[in-house]
Structure 1
Amino acid sequence: MGDPVAHAEHYQEAYGAGEYAAAGAAAAVLSVAEEQRHLVAYAPLVKRIVRQLNSQVSGAIDRDDMEQIGLMGLLEALRRYGVPDQSFGSYASLRIRGAILDELRRQDWRPRAVRQESHRLRDSVRALTRRLGREPQEAEIMAALKLTPEAYQEYQLAENAELIASFDDILQESLGQADSAPSPEEQLMVRRSLEQALRTLDEREQRVVQMYYEFELSYKEIAAVLDLSDARVCQLNKMALGKMKAMLQDK
């Protein structure tokens, strides 16, 4: 895995906290033609993020609609950032993801009955953990809760989608909601916070976080790389984000 700080830099860049040439200055106003040209150039980024998120939300929003929402997030990023440079893609990723997750929340993509069932399963897993005195294995959870592998994976996906949304909110707050890219001071604070948060993770958790956020791989793709089940990757990502979220909230 290597030095976690090195991977923190990759992760931090994936959230738009890289070296911005225009950081702290007013974003240059782009013409309509320039905006259209940059929208076309960065459209593949929108498609990658939509593909990744679409696998986790069980078709709650039509894929084409998700892409349109993502393009609006990209346009907002262009207007805040100004002329794109080598770090723009990282900054835009957060804005694109944020736009899609905001719409998912607005549409209440998890019906009340689904949320209640997820909370019930979560409480059952916690009770099993206390009873065993350790983190239960997948097979133990499925046996204790009488879940099929498919139902267990659905539970993990739902838990992860909820946590990812709240984790992204914290990063949005860290980077500020100004009408321009984050200032150098904001970038430095976020970088240091993420470095410290990543140090709380074990090697496999770091790899999952890196592949999910830096390389924008889906859970299925990460599972293939690490030779794990999709559900196990979900579980690792959930544990990693939980640790990082707790540390960032303490800042």
Structure 2
Amino acid sequence: MFNKGRDAQLWKDYRQGGSDAAREKLIEGYAPLVKYVAGRVAIGLPPNVEFDDLVSYGIFGLIDAIDKFDPDRGIKFETYAIARIRGAIMDGLRNNDWVPRSVRQKAKELEKVCSELENKLGRYATDQEICESLNISLEEFHRLLNEVSCTTLSSLDEMWMTRNLDDDSVRVLDLIENEDSSDPEKLVEINELKAALAKSIDALSEREKLVITLYYYEGLTLKEIGQTLNISESRVSQIHTKAIFRLKGRLSRWRTAIEVL
């Protein structure tokens, strides 16, 4: 990785002069970030997903981050790039449809039930209410969560649209950044989505909020979260999966027809 002075000079050369050599050195210097993110995403994915493929997808995210990064904003490049790299990896997985169709169908059904119950009850549905709606036992519900858990890893990295479909899409995790916008209407919509996401996360149970925070914002793996909370990795996965489907249900009015994990 870079030292601070050399890093700053490369960014200056690339931004001011459009130096291809500086761009290549930036890509080469930050390449280890791609392997780091790919390693995190790989945890929980089926064995048929090749690590090298994840790295290949992530390189596109790194290049995109380098091309769009503005050093003058005072944000560390690593912080900015990690979300872009992870999002590019997830986009690559979605494009290759790595989730079995049967599992994807079950995930869609669960998301639909969570959304319908949220709209009907005006709050997150309990496990028992979800079970009754699906006509399954609590034990079967836990098995279902385990089965569809692979569809929810890095779900907050997916691309969502503002309600004006002519606008650019926004990545959910990008909403934690205070991005400038020259379009007041678009800025209002993004701020509305940011507020809705924050409110939805706050309404989760304390343990669900903690898992979401540790996984997405602190960068811990499910195994590390399990060690922190003194519960099994499988249990962490179940909590994460329930939280994601509850968030999707509550935020369903923001969804578009985009295919997501």
Counterpart selection for 1:105 from 74, 90, 94: 94
Give the CA deviation at 1:107.
Answer: 1.3
Counterpart selection for 1:31 from 8, 19, 30: 19
1:200 touches 1:243 (CA, 8 Å); kept in 2? Answer: no
User: For 1:117-128, what aligned pairs fall within 5 Å after superposition?
Assistant: none
- 1:189-209 CA distance string (max 9 Å, x none): 265444323321222222211
Secondary structure at 1:228 match in 2 = coil
Letter paired with 2:60: M
User: For 1:1-251, what aligned pairs fall within 5 Å after superposition?
Assistant: 30-83=18-71, 85-115=74-104, 129-130=128-129, 141-142=138-139, 144=140, 153=146, 155-161=147-153, 164-165=154-155, 168-170=158-160, 173-174=169-170, 182-183=179-180, 186=187, 189=191, 191-250=194-253
- 227-236 or 81-90, which moves further after superposition? 81-90
* Partners of 2:212 and 2:130 in 1: CA distance: 29
1:175 touches 1:182 (CA, 8 Å); kept in 2? Answer: no
- 1:35-61 CA distance string (max 9 Å, x none): 233324433332222112111221343
- CA RMSD across the alignment: 4.1
Higher relative contact order (CA 8 A, sep 6+): 1
* Partners of 1:76 and 1:53 in 2: CA distance: 19
2:104 touches 2:148 (CA, 8 Å); kept in 1? Answer: no
Letter paired with 1:169: M
* Partners of 1:146 and 1:215 in 2: CA distance: 26
* Partners of 2:204 and 2:141 in 1: CA distance: 27
* Partners of 1:30 and 1:203 in 2: CA distance: 48
* Partners of 1:29 and 1:236 in 2: CA distance: 49
2:61 touches 2:87 (CA, 8 Å); kept in 1? Answer: yes
Normalised to the residue count of structure 2, the TM-score between the two structures is: 0.62
Letter paired with 1:238: T
* Partners of 1:202 and 1:213 in 2: CA distance: 16
Secondary structure at 1:110 match in 2 = coil
* Partners of 1:45 and 1:141 in 2: CA distance: 40
* Partners of 1:121 and 1:246 in 2: CA distance: 9
* Partners of 1:195 and 1:145 in 2: CA distance: 27
* Partners of 1:204 and 1:47 in 2: CA distance: 30
Instruction: Note closer, same or farther for the CA distance 1:220–1:156 as it changes in structure 2 (3 Å cut).
Output: farther
Secondary structure at 2:46 match in 1 = coil
* Partners of 2:239 and 2:89 in 1: CA distance: 23
Give the CA deviation at 1:32.
Answer: 2.2
Instruction: Note closer, same or farther for the CA distance 1:222–1:82 as it changes in structure 2 (3 Å cut).
Output: same
1:160 touches 1:238 (CA, 8 Å); kept in 2? Answer: yes
* Partners of 1:198 and 1:117 in 2: CA distance: 23
Give the CA deviation at 1:174.
Answer: 3.5
* Partners of 1:66 and 1:91 in 2: CA distance: 19
Normalised to the residue count of structure 1, the TM-score between the two structures is: 0.64
- 1:135-192 CA distance string (max 9 Å, x none): xxxxx744x4796xxx974x1533424xx44762238833599xxx942574972654
- 1:49-104 CA distance string (max 9 Å, x none): 21121112213431122112212111111112244853433332222122111111
When the two structures are aligned, how many residues end up with a matched partner? 209
Instruction: Note closer, same or farther for the CA distance 1:80–1:146 as it changes in structure 2 (3 Å cut).
Output: closer
Q: Which runs of 5+ in 2 are unaligned?
A: 1-14, 113-124, 162-167, 255-261
Instruction: Note closer, same or farther for the CA distance 1:166–1:146 as it changes in structure 2 (3 Å cut).
Output: closer
Partner in structure 1 of residue 118 of structure 2: none
